[in-house]
Structure 1
Amino acid sequence: MAESSTQSKTKRHKLPPKNDAELDRISDLPDSLLCLILSFLPTKEAIATSILSNRWKLLWTLVPKLDLDTETIDPSVTFEHIVSKVLSLQQIASLRNFRLRFLFRSSSFVNHSYLHTWLLIAASRNVEELNLEIYFDWEALKWKPQKLPRSFLSCKSLVVLKLRGDIHIDFATDSSLSFQFPNLKILHLLYLFNLRECFSMLLSSCPVLEELSYEGDLDMICGFIYKIFVPTLKRLNITLRESEFYKLEINAPALEYFNFEGDLGDIKIHEKLDNLVEANVDIRTLESEFWRYYRHEKYCHKDRIFQLLAELNNVKFLSFLFHGAECVRFGHIDPLSYRNLVQLEFKVNDCNWHVLQDLLQNAPNLEILDVTKSYDCLEHDLGWKDPPDDLDDLSSHLKSLCYRGFEGLESEVGFLKYILKHARVLKKVTIQVSGGESKESVLEKLSLFPRRSTMCLFTVG
């Protein structure tokens, strides 16, 4: 009886044999769906599917996307040969996305005409998005920034253009150069070679541009003026490193998102930013030897810092970080109301507690406050000082407070005491401890502070 039961179980677990056609259901999907699946793969992996069966052999040639990178290509075959071969085998009239990233090494054979050919082929196929990255290593024997073909600079099908690395738009030797990008909405210019001669002209050729990202270093000559006058611009990302003596003029009344990181030059915003939703400002002021020896109010950038803050007073979400910007101890925020501000992220150090206080006094609707302790500016401890008047508006709106890097210093304790004493709708306080104090002792201290809110939850980590 037991044997019969065992045989019965064995029979139940047996599966009927299936032929290959039944197992390969994915190949029965339409070409459009299979091409969509392949479009999520790098081109190298998409091509590899051609060995699966005759059904897959040429499917990759119908994918309207190319993603080619020297880091993923077999070095025994030249990258130029592979890109040219792939482009010649493609069977599409329209190329939606073309990403090309390659590094010229010292041993590489560099034929600069290849790039022109590839870009012109992409333009002839009405490419919509181009992501081009070119790099030479430090040992390259024939370092030469790659020029974009003149005719490609009038590619009317482009919606997204991202350029990065050793790429040169040679306006200096060809003053008749012109740009036409009537459909371009997203433009990224990252560490390009000597872009300043044609920067403003390039932007003026993009009548519907909505997003601009610019990153650069050592490309800012003293006194040079960058102008970003784009009425349709909604998102602006600027990163400038090792570049202090420049002027940046912005006229973008439709701007909704503004991100700045780097050394603070002279930034002027011409139109009021009534539509501004989010601003992230991370100032890394270059401290030259001259500045270190002659620290004085007139040499500092405090006017620039507070002027920029004033320009952002309509923002809803603000992140403002300082790195070594000691000169802020000389200035104060203009008495402007940040009436729309609901979330503030602030990096506090010994020199800028008063800046945080100014912001809190002028942000009556602030709900979320995130403060991070910094170790910049250790020579002058201005400390937290309770405002002369209670922050009544703040106390009726602030719901969440996070403080990172708590060490139990007098300024930190004074700040936390003040907030807990006045914030009557505060629901959550998160403290991240740094230094010798244990989490338990910090939590015990906090529990002894007077609290206005009866529903506040403490978290110490």
Structure 2
Amino acid sequence: MSSSEYDTPFSPNSKRPRHTETQSQSKNDNEEDRLSDLPDCVLLHVLSFVNAKHAVQTCVLSRRWRNLWKLLPTLTLHSSHFWTFKTFTKFVSNLLTRRDASSAVLNLDFERHGCIEPHVLKRIVNYAISHKVRNLGISVKCDIAHIPQAIFSCKTLTSLKLSVCPRGYIYGSTLFPKSLNLTALTSLHLQHFTFCASGGGVSDRAEPFSACERLSDLVIDHCTVRDAKVLYISNSTLVNLTLRSDHSKDFYKIVLSTPKLRSFRFSGIPYQQICGSHVPSLEDVDIDAEIWSNSLESPLILFSWLLELANVKSLTVSASTLQVLFLIPNLLKIKLPCLGKLKSLKVKMKPLSPIFAMTLKAGKSKKEVMKLSLPLPDGIVNFLLQNSPSAEVAIVNCKR
């Protein structure tokens, strides 16, 4: 086990670095310590960029730093920074116990790749909420019953990132609350959640975000819908929406009722139809699509997205997105009834994933494989520019 894990005031070995400190002070009494002369607010800002383990270890630098970590407004607690989970949980317990109780925790980022004991998670969440947390990130594996429900009614939260995957699952099915009471929330990132039908007479759709009165940024990452056919994203303040999905086929439509939405980003496999008739402010669309079968379902759905998001001014697509579109028979002969306001088209070139590359070749003739093996399908860019021939075009090379 690394000895650096014990170089904190939480361990017996903490006396050793303090002795070193005394020696170094006697040797350098006449040297100017400009860093330590900075105000607390500046030093705490610097410490906010390192994880909590390293922040606590600064106590050995000098007497000036000995108790500074107790005032940290930003706590980054990742189990990957420790050799064992037992060491990690002991560190977290000591940190919360010895920290200055009167100092707010404005930002807390907690991450545990493996399973987490319910009492540990509960203590961390309750501590953050009781100390006026504004930005909270939780990434854990646990059962649904162990998620502290206080998260969903915290009045100080402005940013929430939750990734809660049940034990033993690659793709989680943690049930998301039917309603939220987060009155200050402006940014929400959800991963591995399942949205349920809202009830109230509308049983065919899940509508989880309508009560978030200040929500501006929303990321829905590998989430599903249960007991409903439609994910209804209704919000009067939402500006930026990001969807990531590559496995969910359990619902068939996403309805956007977001009058202030300006940016929409998608990555994954297009399984759901998108209804975008209530997005009058949408200007920027970014799509990175792939498929894992040679069915025409996803290519046709992707084409329907262009029709729904017809009035965008900036369109960014990956090379794989264009490959998916090109699977539609006789695509280049279709008269495109959209993208008439396009001012910018950006194509991101990057290697195809191995699964997608095999999918493209499956069941194809050698001639067809040769066409699909081109970096960009011939004629596809001009196809998108049918109604906006003067739009600026940029081809950008990207790493996978």
TM (norm. structure 2) is: 0.72
Go from structure 1 to structure 2 and tell me whether the alpha carbon gap of 1:200 and 1:127 turns closer, same or farther (over 3 Å shift): farther
Structure 1, unpaired ranges of 5+ = 1-16, 136-142, 292-298, 371-401, 405-461
Q: 1:325 deviation in Å? A: 4.8
In structure 1, the residue matched to 2:269 is 263
Once the 2 structures are TM-superposed, how far is the Cα of residue 335 of structure 1 from its aligned partner? 2.5
Q: Does 1:124 align with 2:130?
A: yes
Retained in 2: the 8 A contact 1:309–1:333? no
Q: Which one has the largest radius of gyration? A: 1
Give yes or no for contact 1:210–1:235 (8 Å, CA) kept in 2: yes
Aligned residue type for 1:207: E
Note if contact 1:128-1:159 (Cα within 8 Å) is conserved in structure 2. yes
Q: Of 326, 335, 338, which residue of structure 2 is paired with 1:336?
A: 338
Gaps of 5+ in 2: 1-25, 167-171, 199-204, 351-369
Residue 184 of structure 1: how far off its partner (Å)? 0.7
Task: Identify the residue that residue 309 of structure 1 maps to in structure 2.
Answer: 306
Q: Does 1:231 align with 2:231?
A: no
Name the SS of the counterpart of 1:329 in structure 2: coil
Cα distance between partner residues in 1 of 2:85 and 2:381: 58
The answer to whether the 8 Å contact 1:301/1:327 transfers is: no
Q: Which moved more, 1:327-336 or 1:223-232?
A: 327-336
How far residue 187 of structure 1 moved from its aligned partner, in angstroms, is 0.5
CA shift, 1:169, in A, is 9.1
SS at match of 1:120: helix
Task: Choose between structure 1 and 2 for higher RCO, CA contacts under 8 A separated by at least 6 residues.
Answer: 2
Pairs within 5 Å for 1:409-420: none
Distance 1:222 1:150 in 2: 22
Determine helix, strand or coil for the equivalent of 1:328: coil
Q: What residue is the counterpart of 1:364 in the other structure?
A: 389
What's 2:188 paired with?
187
Q: Is 1:242 aligned to residue 244 of structure 2?
A: no
Q: Are residues 1:104 and 2:114 paired?
A: yes
2: CA distance between counterparts of 1:118 and 1:57?
24
The reply on whether 1:156 has 2:165 as its aligned counterpart is: no
Query: What is the letter of the counterpart of residue 148 of structure 1?
Result: I
* Equivalent-residue separation in structure 2 for 1:334 and 1:324 (angstroms): 17
Alpha-carbon distance in structure 2 between the residues aligned to 1:155 and 1:124: 9
Return closer, same or farther for 1:333/1:83 CA change in 2, 3 Å cut-off: farther
Q: What does 1:31-50 align with in structure 2 at a 5 Å threshold? A: 31-50=40-59
1:65-120 Cα shifts (integer Å, max 9, x gaps): 10011111242843222212212222243211000011336xxxx53122112111
**Partner amino acid, structure 2, of 1:93:** S
- Aligned partner of residue 231 in structure 2, secondary structure: strand
C-alpha separation in 1, matches of 2:45 and 2:30? 22
Looking at structure 1, the residues matched to 91 and 280 of structure 2 have their Cα atoms a distance apart, in angstroms, of 50
Preserved CA contact (<8 Å) 1:339 1:364: no
Shift of 1:343: 2.9
Provide Cα deviations, 1:332-362, integer angstroms capped at 9, x if missing partner. Answer: 3532352242233277994764553332221
Identity over aligned residues, as a percent? 25
One of 338, 344, 347 as aligned partner of 1:345:
347
SS at match of 2:293: coil
Q: Bigger CA drift: 308-317 or 346-355?
A: 346-355
Q: Work out which of the residue numbers 250, 253, 258 in structure 2 matches 1:252.
A: 258
* Gap change, CA 1:18 and 1:83, over 3 Å in 2: closer
d(CA) in 2 for partners of 1:236 and 1:248? 12
Q: TM-score, normalised to structure 1's length?
A: 0.64
Q: CA deviation at 1:237?
A: 0.7
Deviation, 1:323, is 4.6
Distance across 1 between alignment mates of 2:30 and 2:255: 64
State the secondary structure of the residue aligned to 2:329.
Answer: helix
Q: 1:306 to 1:74 in 2, by over 3 A?
A: closer
RMSD across aligned C-alpha pairs, in angstroms?
3.3
How far, CA to CA, are the matches of 2:49 and 2:186 in structure 1?
23
Determine the C-alpha separation between the residues in 1 that align with 2:302 and 2:391: 21
Alignment of 1:211-222 (within 5 A): 211-216=217-222, 219=224
Name the counterpart of 1:147: 146
Q: 1:77 to 1:327 in 2, by over 3 A?
A: closer
Of 53, 56, 59 in structure 1, the residue corresponding to residue 65 of structure 2 is: 56
**Contact 1:227/1:250 (CA < 8 Å) preserved in 2?**
yes
1:100 and 1:277 map into 2 onto residues whose CA distance is 35
Q: Distance in 1 between matches of 2:103 and 2:197?
A: 35
Mapped contact 2:234–2:256 kept (Cα < 8 A)? yes
- Partner in structure 1 of residue 285 of structure 2: 279
